[in-house]
Amino acid sequence: MAFPEQVRIVEMAPRDGLQNEPGPIVPTATKVELIDRLAATGLRHIEAASFVSPKWVPQMGDATDVMAGLTRKPGVVYSALTPNLQGLEGAIIAGADEVAVFSAASEAFTQKNINCSIGESLERFAPLIERARKEGIRVRGYVSTVLGCPYQGEIAPAEVARVSRALIEMGCYEISLGDTIGVGTPLKAKRMLEAVAAEVPMGQLAAHFHDTYGQALANLYAVLEEGIKVIDSSTAGLGGCPYARGASGNVATEDVLYLLQGLGIETGVDLESVVATGHWITQQLGRHNGSKVALAMGDNRSCDS
Ligand code: HMG
Ligand code: MG
């Protein structure tokens, strides 16, 4: 199959990237500046905050202030993660353009992550999606652990397809397929996607791959061949999931942009600006830049490189 002409990037650094940042809480002003800088690179969709319990994820506790501090750029979607109605109400007040609910293909992971079963999570999302629809807010759905679970191990593609279909039938406009712990390999990713695409149109699917085992770019190449047109990624490869020990960040946005440029696929995003933003945020956090492309393109002033 031919590659798509265009790919939409959904930027994860402010949410998936920062939610698990060890050490002190990242200052609200730094989060705001990160999002504003990302919006200036041409990115059109930024997951800006997470309205989850601050007891569970302390780094996201200032979601309301982060959203309030943004200089909104027209044409950019600023979305937020919402696990329940309480989270949705916060996101509505904060003016989120879009929200995202999250479940998984693994019962054990769902329990650890949101303290309920897959079935209960779907029941919880029903009134949330209804309420969001009344507000005219689109809802994205995540399915985690699609290529393996830290607690359950192997995951059947049929289970990923079942949960994805349920979320679409409930009203999500898109399903983002999460390799939460980055254990997938290309043929496995293809097989999983084929199973899901038999239940949900390919045009409503996105790839959300973490890079723990260094396979994310290879996996993305494989699913691009299958027809995926939406990719979640995180500038400087920031991140990791608090309920998946050892999981590293999403594939780096810089690395995805370089790959897509090489394949002649348009994104509308300026690679050099993202590289500069990645160096800036890693310097602020005092951590290593996880993008190979950013390191290759130089100007890396992050402190431990
Ligand atoms: P719970 O303890 O079962 O919730 O947690 P509860 O309804 O019993 O409430 C307990 C307390 O939490 C109450 O406060 C509520 O008010 C409060 P208390 O009375 O004890 O003071 N609470 C909230 N506070 C703020 N915002 C809220 C909220 N809801 C309840 N929305 C809950 C259930 C879902 C809230 C909790 O498990 C939670 O917040 N989990 C979030 C976990 C998380 O954020 N994980 C990371 C994101 S998922 C991810 O990274 C994967 C993804 O990237 C895709 C991939 O890579 O696969 C998306
Ligand atoms: Mg993730």
Q: Which ligand is nearest to the CA of 237?
A: 2
Mean pLDDT of 230-236: 98
Tell me how far the alpha carbon of residue 241 lies from the centroid of ligand 2, in angstroms. 6
Q: Chain-wide mean pLDDT for the chain? A: 95
pLDDT value at 238 more than 90:
yes
* 43-89: pLDDT as tens digits: 999 999 999 999 999 999 999 999 999 999 999 999 999 999 999 99
Q: Kindly give the distance from the C-alpha atom of residue 270 to the centroid of ligand 1, in angstroms, as a whole number.
A: 35
Given a cut of 90, whether residue 35 has pLDDT beyond it is yes
Task: Find the helix packing angle between 107-114 and 118-135, rounded to 10°.
Answer: 60
241 annotated active-site: yes
CATH 3.20.20.70 fits 8-297, yes or no: yes
Helix intervals (H) in the chain: 28-39, 63-69, 85-94, 107-114, 118-135, 157-170, 186-197, 216-226, 253-262, 271-285, 292-296
Distance CA 101, CA 285 (A): 28
**209 close to ligand 1 (CB < 6 Angstrom):** no
**How many angstroms separate the CA atoms of 186 and 137, rounded?**
34
Nearest atom within ligand 1 for CA of residue 243: 45
Cα–Cα distance for residue pair 2/6, rounded to 1 Å: 12
Q: Which two tokens stand for residue 209?
A: 């791959």
Q: Please write the tens of the pLDDT for every residue from 275-300.
A: 999 999 999 999 999 999 999 998 65
What confidence tens digit (pLDDT) does each residue in 76-121 have? 999 999 999 999 999 999 999 999 999 999 999 999 999 999 999 9
253 contacts 234 by C-beta, under 8 angstroms: yes
Ligand 1 neighbour 159 (Cβ under 6 A): no
| Ligand 1 binding pocket includes 112 (Cβ within 6 Å) | no
Residue nearest to atom 17 of ligand 1 (CA): 53
Q: What is the pLDDT of residue 2?
A: 85
Every domain of the chain and the residues it spans: 8-297
Going from the Cα of 189 to the center of ligand 1, the distance in angstroms, rounded, reads 29
